[in-house]
Structure 1
Amino acid sequence: MIIFILNSAIHLKAIFFLPVLISYYLHAQYVSGEEVIKSMYDQYKNQWYQNVSFEQYAYFYENDSVTKTEIWQEAYVATGMLGIRFNGFDSKNGMLFRNDSVYIFADGNLKNSGQKIHDLLLLGFDVYNQFPEVTVEKLKQSGFDLTKVYEIKTDSMDIIVVGAEPGDLNTNQFWIEKKRMLFLRMIKNSQKGKQEVFFNDYEKLDGGWIEKEVLFYLDDKLYMKEKYFNISTKTVLNSNLFIHTNFIKSKW
């Protein structure tokens, strides 16, 4: 069996074959993922910040070693708009997410675009800023089974898991801290393999929270870590920044 332990940094560890009582499954208070999403929205209704900008260190890993480090600039505007510039605005490289679409830029040119629901943006930010039924519909489109819900009790927090049965760490699912109703973890299957993301090190930000560390795994191997800094909700951001024909010329 697998026993789940979460430390104070909200970093999950899996310990195999230990029959300890540190963590156990509970009957869920919530009967559906729809109820969980509504609770997340209700807890911060009309309080969560509408925009935020920050910089981040992006560490790229191979075989548990850092092979490359970059500094990225990011900006979010509710709902569903996220701009990322790689290694400064002068590089003219980046990604833009808007209206469930993604645009990829290289050397100032649009290289690729397509439809994409940004699951992390949806569960970490938009869920607090849009009606629950909008979030629910997008999660269903993205492949999460909202009929499956259970809870985990640990020595530090209670966790709600949506999308899978207890003990299943392969099916698409997301984990929510029950007290603050904050997104902790996502498991999502793709053509590349099993992708797993952790949001760690939350701090208060205006009427909401923001994670300061994000870990990315592919088939249980760490391939990227993000560390946020210069976080601000005071930067003037408007939707014109997120029009793809304007994006590569935009700064914030």
Structure 2
Amino acid sequence: MKRIISFSFLLLIVMQVNAQKTSSLIDELVNKYSGKWPKSISFTQKTVLINDSTKIYQTWHEAGIFPDLFRIDFDRAAGSSAIFSGDKQYRFTNGKLTRTLPNNNFLIYLVGGMYFHPLDSVKKTISNIGIDINEEYTTTWKGKKVRVLGAKEGDLTKNQIWYDEKDLYLVRFIHNLSAKVQMDYHFYGHIKIGNAWHEMLIDFYQNGKLTQTEEYQDYNTNVTLDPAIFDPAKYGKVYWK
């Protein structure tokens, strides 16, 4: 006697297979690095700000405690810094707090913060960034195979994140800040420290034009950092090397 399989049963199987397929990259990322990513980092950054033919060279000092504390000292002598704490960003000029803004720096989350949250939370946050977790494909970029999450192949108009296929480190993030401004971040020069891979170079493209480059030096992981470094009320009193 022939077995009759209902349409609803077949549909359920297809939905389960598709769900596993489209969420596999985030699943793998969290499974690979959860509990293994360094809790804290610090480094010196050689920054080049590019405006047409003009280049400005600066040295920034940066430190962070994952998942959501980060600080950039643009110019310590001038008291110029940015502190990212939770959902807030604090800007300092001449040693004084001048602005408090929403924390919209998603790079902190993508380069480490996400590995300190449960899988369901990561999927929700990635979706809130505007990345479609139901779109995924594999391609080749800069001579290496990469996995792309957030768009169909060939579509560079949507928010999306690209990862090295073998070691699952971030190599590209395309983020539409508005209808007229698209940022395209390229991460490379990765080195392995402990169980995690860390980029040493980042190029920032705005609407296809290179506007900033970053080169990391003196990169340290699991360093001891005083949480007061990230307290706006204690700005100017606590530093790190």
Question: Alignment partner of 1:185: what SS?
Answer: strand
* 1:35 Cα deviation after fit: 2.9
Larger Rg computed on CA atoms: 2
Q: Which has the higher helix share?
A: 2
2:44 is matched with 55
Amino acid aligned to 1:164: A
Is the aligned partner of 1:203 residue 2:195? no
Number of residue-to-residue matches in the alignment: 222
1:77 is matched with 65
Map 1:230-241 → 2, pairs under 5 A: 230-233=218-221, 235-241=223-229
Is the aligned partner of 1:111 residue 2:98? yes
The alignment's TM-score, normalised by the length of structure 1, stands at 0.81
Q: Kindly tell me: are residues 229 and 30 of structure 1, through their superposed partners in 2, closer, same or farther at Cα, counting changes over 3 Å?
A: farther
Question: Alignment partner of 1:113: what SS?
Answer: strand
Question: Alignment partner of 1:31: what SS?
Answer: helix
1:36 is matched with 25
Of structures 1 and 2, the one with the larger relative CO (CA 8 A, separation 6+) is 1
Query: What's the RMSD between the two structures over aligned residues?
Result: 2.1
1:146 is matched with 133
Is the aligned partner of 1:229 residue 2:235? no
Question: Alignment partner of 1:180: what SS?
Answer: coil
* Contact 1:80–1:121, Cα closer than 8 Å, also in 2: yes
* 1:154 Cα deviation after fit: 5.8
Q: Which of residues 144, 169, 180 is equivalent to 2:167?
A: 180
* 1:156 Cα deviation after fit: 4.2
Q: Kindly tell me: are residues 135 and 206 of structure 1, through their superposed partners in 2, closer, same or farther at Cα, counting changes over 3 Å?
A: same
| CA displacement, residues 136-183 of structure 1 (integer Å, 9 cap, x when unaligned) | 222222221111111114684321111111111111111111211111
Is the aligned partner of 1:98 residue 2:85? yes
> What runs of 5+ residues in structure 1 fail to find an aligned partner?
1-27
Q: Distance in 2 between matches of 1:141 and 1:155?
A: 28
Question: Alignment partner of 1:90: what SS?
Answer: coil
Question: Alignment partner of 1:143: what SS?
Answer: coil
Q: Kindly tell me: are residues 163 and 154 of structure 1, through their superposed partners in 2, closer, same or farther at Cα, counting changes over 3 Å?
A: closer
Q: Kindly tell me: are residues 217 and 30 of structure 1, through their superposed partners in 2, closer, same or farther at Cα, counting changes over 3 Å?
A: farther
